[in-house]
Structure 1
Amino acid sequence: MTDGPYGQEDFPDGVKVFYDENRLACVAFDAIQGPQILLFGFDLSGRKSTEAQPLLFDFAEEHELSVLYTSDGSLALTEMEVLLRSQSVDGVQVSRPVIVKEEWLDSEYYRDRLPLEGEPFPRHPA
């Protein structure tokens, strides 16, 4: 676990787990090393971002789900608690799924700071 306002565990299979006040908050999957994450047969891991985003939009439209953009251009399906981030692999942007607790996806403050790798961010002002 890391110090700071959240805890983090890194697993050798490309999975990072994040805790907020000792409760599970977020699970991030490496685009290449992590397990394959499927959403109704749609492979969320390791796709070129230019391919993954249109497929996610089509899925959202078909299932009448809301899609949100984060400040870094990631896409979130808030009803499904899924955030699709990009990860650079050999100079190519590929998709990296992140499963996030609903309260964080509903909060622009937390949503724009996921996954929480690197320096801990300050707690959200009350």
Structure 2
Amino acid sequence: MAAAGVRETAVGPMRPVWALTPLESVGPLHFGMRMDDVAAALPGVIELRRFQAGPHSPQILGVQFGTGRAAPAVHTYFDEAGRLFCVAVDAARGPQVAFEGLELTAAIPAELEQSLLDVARSTGLSVAYGPRGNPGINELGLVLRVQETDGSVATRPVLVGRDWADRCVDDWEGWIPECEWVGRQWAYPGHSEFWPPPGHEPTWVDWRPPF
């Protein structure tokens, strides 16, 4: 993967560093790219699989890239026009996404949340929380999720481009695909640790979360 350098994280070894330019690009990936251009921008990374990204949006295509068959690193999502609109970085194997001195990948959730609040205050932005408790900043097209990694829980940044950033933190109304909201949730009072919560049957018919 193209990178400006490598950096160690709280949950793993050195990994490539991708600079985030909010609403425009993350590392070598520019929002609006076509799939062939995304693949070409990721030398040394292979396409692992394609999948339907949500139960009610068959036109949204998810493509998983990684360094090996069992080593996903980046999930990319393409809209009905075939444009890259969302990038999610794997906490265990993905590149380190850097923004304003923050390392967004594989961080300790509570520590990164406080740092994000500090950056938001200093820049005049607002941290919002979606219905399932995940924090983010709509103006940056940024949502922070969590992911289980070898017995610990670490952060998984999810980014969208300018045309798709409106209400991106809202997991009911924003553009981020349903599959990125499923599973372990951010620790937030009054919210379940998992989605779907135990005993809840979602209205999915033929679709199942791909990961």
Q: What TM-score range do you get, normalising by the shorter chain?
A: 0.7 to 0.9
Q: Does 1:35 pair with 2:35?
A: no
C-alpha displacement of 1:45? 0.6
Distance 1:115 1:25 in 2: 14
C-alpha displacement of 1:114? 4.2
Q: Does 1:20 pair with 2:83?
A: no
C-alpha displacement of 1:44? 0.5
Percent identity (aligned): 30
C-alpha displacement of 1:40? 1.4
TM-score (norm: length of structure 1) = 0.81
1:1-126 pair list within 5 angstroms? 1-3=50-52, 4-13=58-67, 14-21=73-80, 22-102=82-162, 103-106=164-167, 108=170, 109-111=172-174, 114=177, 116-117=179-180, 119=207
Distance 1:72 1:112 in 2: 15
C-alpha displacement of 1:93? 2.0
Which structure shows the higher helix fraction?
1
Give a deviation string over 1:82-116, Cα, whole Å, max 9, x none. Answer: 11111112332211111113435426334385463
- RMSD, aligned α-carbons: 2.5
Distance 1:87 1:111 in 2: 20
Given that 2:146 and 2:156 are in contact with CA atoms closer than 8 Å, whether structure 1 keeps it comes out as yes
**Where does the alignment leave 5 or more consecutive residues of structure 2 unmatched?**
1-49, 53-57, 68-72, 183-206
Distance 1:27 1:73 in 2: 20
Given that 1:28 and 1:96 are in contact with CA atoms closer than 8 Å, whether structure 2 keeps it comes out as yes
Given that 1:18 and 1:116 are in contact with CA atoms closer than 8 Å, whether structure 2 keeps it comes out as no
Greater alpha carbon shift after TM alignment, 47-56 vs 82-91: 82-91
Given that 1:81 and 1:100 are in contact with CA atoms closer than 8 Å, whether structure 2 keeps it comes out as yes
Residue type of the partner of 1:46?
A
TM-score (norm: length of structure 2) = 0.51
> Partner residue of 2:203?
none
C-alpha displacement of 1:2? 2.7
| Number of equivalenced pairs | 121
